[in-house]
Amino acid sequence: MKIKKNDNVMVIAGKDKGKTGKVIKALPERDMVVIAGVNIKKKHQRPQKSGQKGQIVEKTLPIHVSNVMIVDPSTGKRSRIGKKMVGGKYVRVSKKSGKEIS
């Protein structure tokens, strides 16, 4: 999986198409990522103790990695990811600008 935690990504498919955000959590075993402010669902929660009220909690759910693309740091547009050998190590680079992605 080429997308990692703290990457800025753009959603390219689904109900949140066009939204951008930062990856909070990467789930490579499921090929999913959790993005701040994207794919938010409301969950009805029962009262935990007697006398307490139930509530509606907003929860950010994972989205499949195929539905997101990384945002190029130099242009601010979405881009594919490649890799290049620099100093004996591979680094991720943007296909659009050729710049290194941190």
Residue-wise pLDDT tens digits, 34-62: 999 999 999 999 999 999 999 999 999 99
Q: How confident is the model at residue 33 (pLDDT cuts 50, 70, 90)?
A: very high
Q: Which residues contact 50 (CB under 8 A, 6 or more apart)?
A: none
| Domain spans in the chain, listed from the N-terminal domain onward | 1-71, 73-102
Averaged pLDDT for residues 88-92 = 95
Averaged pLDDT for residues 67-79 = 94
Q: Whole-prediction pTM value? A: 0.85
Q: How confident is the model at residue 102 (pLDDT cuts 50, 70, 90)?
A: confident
73 CB-contact burial (10 Å; exposed 0-12 / middle 13-18 / buried 19+) = middle
CATH number for 1-71 (one of 3.50.7.10, 1.20.1300.10, 3.40.50.300, 2.30.30.30): it is: 2.30.30.30
